[in-house]
Amino acid sequence: MMTESEIIERAVVIGNEFGLHARVATALVQTMRRHSCHVTLRKESMEVDARSVLGLLLLAATNGTELVIRANGPGSEQAVREICELLQDDGSNHDGHR
């Protein structure tokens, strides 16, 4: 069983052909509104808060980029799972036209 103080860290590769662009960053920030845990995303030596659209865009994460998600606090596992789904999504399941 996981305690609230335990840190979860998971690597994820961007699957969207346009990378971590404004729509995805906004969706990620909206996802974080449902969680009280603290989450950051790291690309190489740059680490940003998952609640900051500007910070997420500053990562300049293109398709195929590996990011490290780091979370701690209540609901961390669920938050990380939802973020991974957003970042790995290639967009093909949204409109059926791809």
Token output for 11: 């690597």
Given a cut of 80, whether residue 94 has pLDDT beyond it is no
The amino acid occupying position 86 is L
Token output for 4: 């609230």
36 vs 46: CA distance, rounded Å: 23
Residue-range domains of the chain with CATH: 7-88 (3.30.1340.10)
Active site members:
21
Q: Over the stretch 31-85, which tens digit does the pLDDT of each residue have?
A: 999 999 999 999 999 999 999 999 999 999 999 999 999 999 999 999 999 999 9
Contact at 8 Å (CB) between 28 and 19? no
